[in-house]
Amino acid sequence: MHPLANSQDASLRARAASVVPGGMWGDQNAANLPQGYPQFFSRGDGCRVWDVDGNEYIDLMCSWGPVLLGHNHHEVEEAARRQNARGECLNGPTEAMVELAETMVGMIPHADWVQFSKNGSDATTTCITIARAGTGRRKVLVAAGSYHGAMPWCSPSVAGVTTEDRAHILTFEYNDVASLERAADMARGDLAAIIVAAFRHDFARDQEMPTPEFAASARAICDAAGAALIVDDVRAGFRLHPGGSWELVGVQPDLSAWSKAIANGYTLAAVTGSDRFRAAATQVFSTGSFWCSGTAMAAAVATLGIVQRDDVVGHLYRMGTLLREGMSDLSRRHGVAIRQTGPVQMPMILFEGDTDFSRANAFCAATLQAGAYFHPKHNMFLSMAHRPYDIARALVAADHGFRAAAAVRPSAP
Amino acid sequence: MHPLANSQDASLRARAASVVPGGMWGDQNAANLPQGYPQFFSRGDGCRVWDVDGNEYIDLMCSWGPVLLGHNHHEVEEAARRQNARGECLNGPTEAMVELAETMVGMIPHADWVQFSKNGSDATTTCITIARAGTGRRKVLVAAGSYHGAMPWCSPSVAGVTTEDRAHILTFEYNDVASLERAADMARGDLAAIIVAAFRHDFARDQEMPTPEFAASARAICDAAGAALIVDDVRAGFRLHPGGSWELVGVQPDLSAWSKAIANGYTLAAVTGSDRFRAAATQVFSTGSFWCSGTAMAAAVATLGIVQRDDVVGHLYRMGTLLREGMSDLSRRHGVAIRQTGPVQMPMILFEGDTDFSRANAFCAATLQAGAYFHPKHNMFLSMAHRPYDIARALVAADHGFRAAAAVRPSAP
């Protein structure tokens, strides 16, 4: 294989380096990826993306989650275009806001109401603020290492964060009931909420589904304390279950945060809540200049309609299973051990004993060159646009990846 | 005049009341407006908007600021459509991010770099976090009553907000140099930043441009303390001066927050900064699922190109002057005293002695019925799509409004 063409990407990176700090912000900075990854993209179609040099990839990141049905999905785009032609941003909401809220209340069992915003961080922060307003208390329990957004109370970096920003945050270990109980005890009469990711999908580590005991215990602690149970479904929402990811463990949250896949790539987030927190939601001042823009809401109505009509979750499950089985076969053939964890719809693939990620990086660099976009450390995402042939193409690329990984000595003994 | 048709709006409000807390959130809740205002909108074109019952209005709110060039501006929509067809949200940014950052660095004197996000609140919060990271200090000075967003550190409501969220916020009075100096003294060696609105545009009170002494003093205090001067240009940006609103007072900020008008209605926000804070900007973890989406950035490139090419600020100034002079004439004719304050491009019209806003409400309700959408308490916005004939139509409607206002006894002696 030849290195991918990258002259356009290199030229844009050089320009970006002077006008954007670090050339790019956050986790989408390609400096965090193995050599050879493009920073800049040109277009997407279905489950394929093209970088600015015209290299085409079977995409396993789905734009870090938002692309649920595939790029340029005709029904979503038609709904978006129709609304957009009438107006993107008006003096108030359009009918699409009501349709979307009704759709979500209809499909999400705990949801009696919905409030919209634009970022996952807006939704998680609003959930916590509503929980505090509704309970009159302050302490919030968060799993250590869980990502709930980039606001000072939860950002993975503490640069520019003050101690007070996290004064009322207490941590526990995901899926560890005893640690959750200890944290709740520390909060005593001041427990406002437990916020918990739909499943454990921390950066660069094995994924874990919530155990039924853990989920039941979180619910029981909140019930006993009169606190709010918040499920952060920003990343997993609509890929595991149309009614919310904790339907799988049979536990209803009081509040949930949604974003990413909700509008198949259009900018939108939402908070759903039960009637118990409706009054608190009206007291909290939540607003943003674009929060009632119609296009994203029309796209979301179309997206969630398809989620209910076409068994999107089932399709993702079938494609994820094909990928997981294929990766497992390749792992054995190449004698390179991997761990595949969490739900198949959101694949996490880590190499055994690969503490410095050198095997993962070699795998991903070679796989990319062979035309498939994997991520070495972050969970990936499947879409409705992935068909068996696309998974096959990703696996053919992964065969090159495993060969490259096998040539790297594992970093741990 | 007859009351406006409102059956569609009433029906949507009834549906929304059950699935959205309070029927609508924040300042866009029509419950905060005089009787007769629509909650739901159907479409916009140029400077006109239509509610869901088909009533047409000359619009003086411009969607609370975002609509700078008018709805459905052909150049902006063409740029947005072209990018959108290639992909709304990809695995990383498109070339449009670099073009937009270069455009802003080229037009905004203090800007050496740009970082994008989605809400004005994202931009102001990021500015403060960068200032804290860059200075290693914590205290932030904020003018009492200034609106800087809906995050816990700055929200106008304290429901769900903890004392610690504002532990390092100190307040001063806008345009009061002595109060600013006192607040800076209280911060002592811990001053990270002064954040100040482009001009004083507080809710329901007279607007004030920053005095040159106040602006110079804010700059001097930051220089002496090694703190960051942050101008919040979210609301005023691109309407007062293409290079940033404090160009009018000849003072350069270190950081500025932008949103609203930047992409003529598409969802986008930005932070600009000087090289002094570039390293801090790379340390702060800032990210969001849709922050590098291409469509809004392509729309912003087109919008800011037009701002530079077509003297948008000058046009807004001329239309604003026509409106202000017309309102002043009508006020005298009807013997109803008003105060018109702040920049003409962002009209604020308050009735003399109208402490309970009964005259403003009567004015606005009648003006609305006559086909112009004014706001009784919030500053308004003009756009490039407002032509002299549109201002004339708004004034004809305002003539009805003044008649209604004259019939209301002023609430204050």
3-state secondary structure A209-267: CCCHHHHHHHHHHHHHHCCEEEEECCCCCCCCCCCCHHHHHCCCCCEEEECHHHHCCCC
> Has residue A227 got a pLDDT over 90?
yes
A69 within a domain of the structure (yes/no): no
State whether B231 and B366 are in the same domain.
no
ipTM of the complex: 0.97
CB contact under 8 A, B90 and A131: no
State whether A337 and A361 are in the same domain.
yes
CB contact under 8 A, B26 and A291: yes
Q: What is the mean pLDDT of chain A?
A: 97
Q: Which of B294, B309, B324 is the last residue of a domain?
A: B309
B20, B43, B108, B275, best to mutate vs chain A, most A CBs in 10 Å: B20
Alpha carbon of A120: minimum distance to chain B alpha carbons (Å)? 7
**SS3 at position B347:** coil
Fill in the DSSP letter of residue A202.
-
pLDDT of residue B19: 98
State whether B285 and B323 are in the same domain.
no
CATH number, domain containing residue A153: 3.40.640.10
State whether B272 and B262 are in the same domain.
yes
Give the Cα separation of B45 and B319 in Å (integer). 18
pLDDT of residue A2: 77
B59 CB neighbours in chain A (<8 A) are 91
Alpha carbon of A24: minimum distance to chain B alpha carbons (Å)? 8
State whether B367 and B231 are in the same domain.
no
Residue A117 in tokens: 């915003």
Distance of alpha carbon B98 from the chain centroid: 25
Residue B311 in tokens: 């003297």
Give the Cα separation of B228 and B140 in Å (integer). 9
H or E stretch covering B186: helix B177-187
Residues 6+ apart with CB under 8 A from A70: A45, A46, A47, A383, A384, A385, A386
A412 within a domain of the structure (yes/no): no
CATH number, domain containing residue A348: 3.90.1150.10
pLDDT of residue A203: 96
B28 CB neighbours in chain A (<8 A) are 91-93, 287, 291-292
Give the Cα separation of B57 and B354 in Å (integer). 25
The partner residue sitting opposite A91, judged by closest CB among B59, B167, B284, is B59
B394 within a domain of the structure (yes/no): yes
The string of pLDDT tens digits covering residues A117-164 is: 999 999 999 999 999 999 999 999 999 999 999 999 999 999 999 999
State whether A344 and A259 are in the same domain.
no
A280 CB neighbours in chain B (<8 A) are 159-160
State whether B12 and B79 are in the same domain.
no
Q: Domain tally for chain A?
A: 2
Residue count (chain A): 413
pTM over 0.90: yes
Fill in the DSSP letter of residue B46.
B
Alpha carbon of A136: minimum distance to chain B alpha carbons (Å)? 7
Beta carbons of A237 and A94 less than 8 angstroms apart: no
Per-residue pLDDT, averaged over A201-213, amounts to 97
B21 within a domain of the structure (yes/no): yes
CB contact under 8 A, A91 and B61: yes
CB contact under 8 A, A91 and B43: no
Q: Which of B284, B309, B334 is the last residue of a domain?
A: B309
Alpha carbon of B354: minimum distance to chain A alpha carbons (Å)? 25
> Has residue A411 got a pLDDT over 80?
no
B228 φ/ψ angles, rounded to the nearest 5 degrees: -95, 135
CB contact under 8 A, A293 and B265: yes
CB contact under 8 A, B282 and A93: no
Per-residue pLDDT, averaged over A287-292, amounts to 96
B1 within a domain of the structure (yes/no): no
Pairing state of beta strands A139-143 and A191-197?
A: parallel
Alpha carbon of A229: minimum distance to chain B alpha carbons (Å)? 16
Per-residue pLDDT, averaged over A194-200, amounts to 98
Q: Which of B260, B279, B309 is the last residue of a domain?
A: B309
**Ramachandran area for residue B371 (φ above 0: left; ψ -120 to 50: alpha; else beta):** left
The string of pLDDT tens digits covering residues A152-161 is: 999 999 999 9
Beta carbons of A20 and B114 less than 8 angstroms apart: yes
State whether B46 and B145 are in the same domain.
no
Give the Cα separation of B240 and B227 in Å (integer). 26
Alpha carbon of B408: minimum distance to chain A alpha carbons (Å)? 27
The partner residue sitting opposite A159, judged by closest CB among B42, B119, B283, is B283
The partner residue sitting opposite A26, judged by closest CB among B41, B91, B286, is B286
pLDDT of residue A26: 86
pLDDT of residue A413: 58
Per-residue pLDDT, averaged over A223-242, amounts to 98
pLDDT of residue B409: 86
How many contacts, defined by CB atoms under 8 Å, are there between A and B?
341
A25 CB neighbours in chain B (<8 A) are 115, 281-282, 286-287, 291
* Chain A, nearest residue to B165 by Cα: A165
B69 within a domain of the structure (yes/no): no
Q: By residue range, what is the domain housing residue B115?
A: 74-309
B413 within a domain of the structure (yes/no): no
B9, B272, B289, best to mutate vs chain A, most A CBs in 10 Å: B289
Beta carbons of B61 and B368 less than 8 angstroms apart: no
Instruction: Give every strand in the sheet of A56-59, ordered side by side.
Output: A41-45, A48-51, A56-59, A372-373
Residue stretches of chain B with pLDDT short of 70: 1, 412-413
> Which residues make beta-bridge pairs with A172?
A143
Residue count (chain B): 413
Beta carbons of A258 and A270 less than 8 angstroms apart: yes
A63 CB neighbours in chain B (<8 A) are 89-91, 289
Per-residue pLDDT, averaged over A308-335, amounts to 98
Beta carbons of B180 and B214 less than 8 angstroms apart: yes
Give the Cα separation of A380 and A374 in Å (integer). 7
Q: How would residue A412 be classed by pLDDT, with cut points 50, 70 and 90? A: low
The partner residue sitting opposite A40, judged by closest CB among B89, B95, B150, is B95
State whether B235 and B95 are in the same domain.
yes
State whether B252 and B358 are in the same domain.
no
State whether B140 and B201 are in the same domain.
yes
The partner residue sitting opposite A288, judged by closest CB among B121, B125, B133, is B121
* Chain A, nearest residue to B190 by Cα: A162
Beta carbons of B99 and B109 less than 8 angstroms apart: no
pLDDT of residue B413: 57
Per-residue pLDDT, averaged over A392-401, amounts to 98
Pairing state of beta strands B269-273 and B255-258?
A: antiparallel
A2 within a domain of the structure (yes/no): no
The string of pLDDT tens digits covering residues B67-117 is: 999 999 999 999 999 999 999 999 999 999 999 999 999 999 999 999 999
> Has residue A27 got a pLDDT over 90?
no
State whether A177 and A274 are in the same domain.
yes
One-letter amino acid identity for B339?
R
CB contact under 8 A, B160 and A128: yes
